[in-house]
């Protein structure tokens, strides 16, 4: 848990860090992972974000060391794009 009683933002030294639930987005081994409602402190001025370490540890435990399964579809084999012959209108 993060104590957030009017902490001054260490990035801009102007804004104040506020407790928020935001979406954590990170790329693990080429796969985009988006986790909504992660506890974090976010600056109300420059939007610098400091995620809750407990939440990040849980996300890392879920993703694991090998990362999430790839979200890429295997390439389909087939003719692919076939060029059509151009058909011009007949001359009059």
Contact 21, 39 (CB under 8 A): yes
Pick from 2, 7, 15, 33: which binds Zn ion (CB under 5 A)?
A: 15
Residue 38 binds to Zn ion (criterion: CB under 5 A): no
Helix (H) / strand (E) element for 25: namely strand 16-28
CB of 50 to Zn ion, least distance (A): 10
Residue whose CB is less far from Zn ion, 20 or 68: 20
- d(Cα 1, Cα 40) in Å, to the nearest integer? 9
Give the residues lining the site for Zn ion (CB under 5 A): 9, 11-12, 15, 43, 45-46, 48
């Amino acid at each position: 848990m993060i104590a957030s009683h009017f902490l001054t933002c260490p990035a801009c030294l102007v804004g104040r860090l506020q407790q928020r639930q935001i979406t954590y987005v990170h790329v693990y081994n080429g796969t985009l992972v988006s986790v909504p409602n992660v506890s974090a402190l976010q600056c109300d001025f420059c939007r610098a974000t400091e995620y809750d370490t407990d939440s990040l540890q849980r996300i890392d435990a879920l993703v694991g060391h090998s990362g999430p399964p790839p979200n890429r579809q295997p390439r389909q084999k087939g003719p692919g794009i076939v060029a059509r012959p151009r058909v011009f209108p007949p001359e009059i």
